[in-house]
Amino acid sequence: MKPLLCSLLLLFAFSLNAQAPVAVPAAKEPHHHLVLENSYVRVLRVSVPAHDATLLHQHDVPYIYVALGPGDVINAVAGKPEAHLVMTDGQVGYSRGGFAHIARTDAGLVFNNVTIELLHPQGEPRNLCEQVIDGPLSDCENPPSSKLPPDSSLRTPARFAKMERLFETDEILAESASLAPRASYIQSGSQPSQLLIALDNSEVRVDVQGKPSKSLHSGEALWLPAGNPPTIANLNGHGASRFLLCSFKN
């Protein structure tokens, strides 16, 4: 009798294991769409319709995520209690990765974001001017709001362009920016490699000396190799345009 019971228990356990879902890589999950990849980053545009859910998918590396519009989502991490996350438009988060999860839109809102997988080791993340991770804020020193062309009629740059240092790791510095209608932001000095993400309801043009202009709309990404600093202009004549800028220290 005992051998038969053991056999039945083993068969039951095997059946449960056979039915357990297998996590797919985040880039292979159908709601995640690859928009840019190089040796530094893998950028995914994520869109989950209302009352829908992703497949169980794996995040093996650290990543940044930024909300495109408001978000209300259930985060079901394998092996942990579910968490209810409410995000504001443009909110930035950071995760160390190393887990699998399902995202569900039970509240009936579409969930849109951009997920930036960081392919180099990051070390310890540190808050700067925003509470991106658990922990204290550091001394918040933001750069000058903008530099304007010499012939610009704008005399008070802080009214037209705002940059804010959000957080950093050993590898990256993440900043958010907001440009008033028709305003421009001009970086100064030598520019490291950077990733620019246009946020929701935004339209910007990026000009780098010696290269064609690039226009970006909501959720679109552009990689800026180290070298000449870019000029970033708001093409929206009736409202602000916002973007996330990630600078790579190496």
Residue 202 vs residue 191, higher pLDDT? 202
Q: How far apart, in whole angstroms, are the C-alpha atoms of residue 183 and residue 149? A: 10
Are the CB atoms for 238 and 181 separated by under 8 Å?
yes
Tell me if 249 sits within 8 A of 192, measured CB to CB.
yes
d(C-alpha 150, C-alpha 29), whole Å: 48
Query: Residue 160's pLDDT is what?
Result: 77
Give me the pLDDT at residue 11, please.
Answer: 44
Segment 134-160 mean pLDDT: 59
Please name the amino acid found at residue 13.
A
Mean predicted lDDT score pLDDT of the chain: 87
DSSP secondary structure of 95-128: E---EEEEEE-TTS--EEEEEEEE-S-----EES
* Mean of pLDDT values over 120-134: 94
Once rounded to an integer, what is the mean pLDDT over residues 150-165?
Answer: 59
Split at pLDDT 50, 70, 90, the class of 19 is low
pLDDT for 187: 80
Write the pLDDT tens digit of every residue in 100-114: 999 999 999 999 999
**Closest-CA residue to 209 (of 224, 221, 219, 220):** 224
CA 18 to chain centre: 34
